[in-house]
Amino acid sequence: MKTQAMLLAILMLTGCGTVQTVVRGDEVAAKSLKEQKSYCGAIPRIYSGVTYDFCALNAPLQNGRDADKHDSAPAIVLLDVVVSGALDTLLLPYTIYRQQADGSIIINE
């Protein structure tokens, strides 16, 4: 049971919106959302993890995407929104600084 919980935590953190936008480079988050064809044009750095999750949900269902996978995505993303919200709150001083210094993460250039 403990091993399963650790595995779940690792899987969630690698897909976590906050990790995608704060820890990894801006290009990684932008590329991921471009591949999903999200309608978002930019992500503000403040609460970027939560915004990233909602942008991931704001993508059209396409022929190339697995419909079954997309149907389960909202439940997983909503769980990630809670985790990302908590992490985004802890990182708020850093993300406020990054927003002032670097601006938003641009998705569509």
Provide the token pair at 48.
């970027």
- 76 vs 63: CA distance, rounded Å: 21
Q: Residue 31 is which amino acid?
A: K
Question: Tell me, what's the pLDDT at 57?
Answer: 84
pTM for the structure as a whole = 0.77
Question: Tell me, what's the pLDDT at 78?
Answer: 79
Are 13 and 19 contacting, i.e. CB atoms less than 8 angstroms apart? Answer: yes
Question: Tell me, what's the pLDDT at 97?
Answer: 97
Distance, C-alpha 96 to centroid of its chain: 17
- 6 vs 45: CA distance, rounded Å: 28
What are the start-end ranges of the E strands in 18-79? 42-43
Output the tens digit of pLDDT for each of the chain's 109 residues: 677 666 556 555 556 889 899 988 899 999 988 988 888 999 999 999 999 988 888 877 655 555 545 455 667 777 888 888 999 999 999 999 999 999 999 998 6
Question: Tell me, what's the pLDDT at 62?
Answer: 59
Are 17 and 51 contacting, i.e. CB atoms less than 8 angstroms apart? Answer: yes
SS3 95: helix
Question: Tell me, what's the pLDDT at 60?
Answer: 76
